[in-house]
Amino acid sequence: MDTFTEPYTRAGDDISLDAVRDQVRALEQAHKSHGVQLSGRIIHVCHYLPVLPTLISHTSPAAAGVLSPPPSPPNTPGDVPSSPTDESLDAGQQQSSAPSKRWNLAPRYGHAAMISGIRSLSATHEQLIVGWTGDIFSIPSEGAASAEEDGTGEQLVPSHLVSQPDREALDAELVGYEEEGQGQAIEGIKGKIEYVPVWLEDKVGHGHYDGYCKTTLWPLFHYLLWQDVATEYASADAHWVHYEQANQAFAERIASVLKPGDLVWVHDYHLLLVPKLLRSAVGEKGTDVIIGLFVHTPFPSSEVFRCLPRRKEILEGMLGANLVCFQTYSYTRHFTSTCVRVCGYETTSRIDVQGHIVAVSHCPVGIDAERVARDTLRPGIQPKLEALRALYADKKIIVGRDKLDVVKGVLHKLRAFEKLLQDYPEWQGHVVLIQVTSPALSDSPKLERQVSELVAHINGEYGSLDFIPVHHYHQTLKKDEFYALLSVADLGVITPLRDGMNTTSMEFVIAQERTNRSPLVLSEFMGISQHMGDALQVNPWDLGDVAAAMNTGLLMSSESKAARHAALHKVVTTHTSHTWAAVLVKMLLSQINGQTNARGTPYLPRDSLKEKYEKAGKRLFLFDYDGTLTPIVRTPAMAVPSLDALNALTKLTSDPKNIVYIVSGRDQEFLEIHLGHIKHLGMSAEHGGFIRDPNGGDAEQEEWMNFTAKLDMEWMEEVAEIFRYYTERTTGSHIEIKKSAITWHYRASDPEWGLFQCRQCQDLLENNVAHKRPIEVLVGKKNLEVRPLAVNKGEIVKRILYMNPDSEFIFCAGDDKVNTTADTESHHVTNRPDEDMFRALRLFPPTPSSLSITPDAVFTTSVGHSSKRTLASWHVTTPEEVVDHMLYLVGETSRGSVLRAMEGEEPKSYL
């Protein structure tokens, strides 16, 4: 963790909840005044529904001869269980009074902070919560056949045995559940909450959660590799197919309820593929969907994440969102760096995904401070608190509560406590550690044994007949016991090895408000640590440091305790789960601008394209090469045209009505090697510095015309010297010297260092060379090029157009973009040669009488995302689609299209 000095929150996030809601309303009104459609609904996508449905069944699954799989994950806990309650058991067993109902609905406990924040948005918006039902249990009626039960009077029902009428009944009974079932209406409620269940096959649901999420992603995000936690095998790909299938099922379910103008928030690491899959599921309207992704866990550094075999698929799924949000600034840095290093995307404060701009930010999660404060006043707490004080009347009490999970650092905490007794022997017999470990989602007998052995060792070494230094309770506490323990503590110690959100630390602060106002020792490797700057922050691996912090906290003066507590209390009560949710909505609304809904470049229409093509007596085709006819590759020399691309060019040039040009930044030699054999193909090299006309038919006999022959080219040696300087200092970079330009490539370099060196070099060229010479500096894809001012693709397109004034159809394709916010924020001007072509064709016709073409027969086409800022009128997504369209014009089908059609013959369903 290397960014502790960075702000945990931004200026403006610490204002009141009402002020944030006012800002949200102002943003919505501004967007609506500009014609942006907003529905007033927010769709929250969570792994689990916050409702626990139990089927009231008159048929026993065992009677049907079906063996039920083991119930995993458990019904009640989530990934980060909330404070347990006295009422949880009773609530889970409540039954609907209406005999006609098929389902018993009860709250599902877990993720209390997230669910509290989501529900608070009902004060301003209508909401849908989409989530998995989890394992379905049934309550057999008195007359049902007996079956093997789970010990609670409930039977596990395999998902395929839940009938369609039962599923439809659940949909109906979930309507109005908030008021009828839970009875916890939000104060000032305006909107309603609807619950949308996602049904998964048992194999998919458990392979997704117990498999890929818990054995691969959870360890990885907490800086553990899967082989460190695997018990039977160490394959990171064993459950990938289930993860993919579950995410696809979620995406399809969301698409079925999505309305124009909805905001979509996807929560946590279980559903990282959903943003991209949802856009695909929606189809052509997918680019209009506003999607946010909030990752509640830590996000590891790129060096850790890149170990994941499916790293690129995960990142591309996440980058389908408009906004990716994390707990802390450091996690955003890790994510951005990973996208640069793994995917090679351009980034500054945002990430450019082929023209789709993704914002990356952070927003801390809080707790429902008002609810916790009310809970600390429960009448059952005070007697338990007094009993604890009486039991340890002459002792200082250190309290810890953690899940029994390897990343929670319980062993390290116990060793640090032992270190405290060793280094500060005056505390022996005067301080006790009460450590509560709640059961983890997956049992770890080895860890449980290690904890028990270490507790026994400490108690044996430093205890006596009348004194036990460590009291370890491996159980789930009731709410009164939990808050009594937090309230009585003289010191709280929460030191996980890695953690994102930790509610116990914030609950500790609120519980201490009415008692000791005791200090808190926190691990610096928690996402919340930057939020809690007045806690005693430690490195949990440094046992001496933790022991010293414990000693400091126990000896702290009342004045210092009060001052630290006041600062922490203000943070916890200001940055609550309610303000977190409202700030998320504000941030997502802020992403709606010109690059989203206001102007999405429409997809190239095949039918209209072919209609104009067939009607035209003469047609003009202008193609960029890299990124348009061939994909961008790491090694430029490997960018060779596919068989489909060669076939399309050959078919187009064989028609005498067609004039076809390749307008590329490549040099003449490269174009001649790969495309020179195609007859009647015109080529322009080095961004318009050279041209070879297609007339004559014998491609090899055509001569190149040099437009730079009479230009002053003495500047090339001066630029080459600068490029050599940076090449020596940038491993993997190289210089390409052309006849009319010189290019410095850094695609094979370290991406972040290469980009930094590129910007340094650009500054040097623009400030010391460009203003004295007739040249311009172009920033390309992982390269920096210097060329004469008089040479560009726009000028060559104008020349070609006026050499063919009788053209009645023009198709021009390129993959560059105009300057975006991401470009301009760094104060660098980025020239995009392909946009020069589009600009030249947009200026048409300056002299209408000299051209035969009409505007609707000009198809300027950008390759990339529809939200990419471009002067083109149309877009396609990939170079393969450019080739597909060209083959379609000549009546052929690409090999890729044939393969995709074959794959589509057997659609798979995961619902």
Listed residue (415, 259, 290, 359) closest to 10, CA to CA? 359
Question: Measuring CA to CA, how many Å separate 403 from each of 96, 369, 406, 437, 446?
Answer: 33, 22, 9, 5, 15
Residue that is written with structure tokens 């004295």 in the block: 772
Beta bridge partners of residue 137, listed in sequence order: 54, 156
Listed residue (403, 333, 436) closest to 110, CA to CA? 403
HEC string for 468-535: CCEEEECCCCCHHHHHHHHHHCCEEEECCCCECCCHHHHHHHHHHHHCCCCCEEEECCEHHHHCCCCC
Gap between the Cα atoms of 508 and 490, Å rounded: 11
| Known catalytic membership, residue 816 | no
Give me the helices (H) in 311-409, please.
311-318, 329-338, 369-375, 381-391
What radius of gyration do the chain's Cα atoms show?
Answer: 32
Gap between the Cα atoms of 720 and 735, Å rounded: 8
CB 267 within 8 A of CB 114: yes
Instruction: Give residues with Cβ within 8 angstroms of 569, minimum separation 6.
Output: 509, 510, 513
Listed residue (853, 442, 386, 898) closest to 659, CA to CA? 853
Gap between the Cα atoms of 137 and 159, Å rounded: 10
- For residue 619, give the 3-state DSSP assignment: strand
Gap between the Cα atoms of 494 and 576, Å rounded: 20
CA 78 to chain centroid, in Å, comes to 20
Residue that is written with structure tokens 């997502």 in the block: 588
Amino acid identity of residue 512, one-letter, is Q
Q: Give the N- to C-terminal CA distance of the chain in Å, as an integer.
A: 41
Gap between the Cα atoms of 480 and 387, Å rounded: 12
- Residue 495 burial by CB count (10 A; 0-12/13-18/19+): exposed, middle or buried? buried
State the helix-helix crossing angle for 410-423 and 445-462, rounded to 10 degrees.
10
Q: Could you please report the per-residue DSSP string of 119-183?
A: HHGGGTSEEEEEEE--SEEEEE-TTSPP----SSS-EEE-GGGS-HHHHHHHHHHHTTHIIIII-
Residue 624, number of CB atoms within 10 A of its CB: 25
Give me the helices (H) in 616-729, please.
643-653, 668-675, 715-728
CB 810 within 8 A of CB 622: yes
596, two tokens = 């989203």
Gap between the Cα atoms of 123 and 394, Å rounded: 49
Beta bridge partners of residue 399, listed in sequence order: 434, 492
Question: Measuring CA to CA, how many Å separate 522 from each of 142, 295, 489, 515, 519?
Answer: 52, 21, 15, 20, 10
Beta bridge partners of residue 721, listed in sequence order: none
Gap between the Cα atoms of 629 and 93, Å rounded: 63
126, two tokens = 């209508």
Which DSSP symbol is given to 10? -
CB 631 within 8 A of CB 639: yes
Residue in 268, 624, 667, 823 annotated catalytic: 624
Catalytic residues: 624
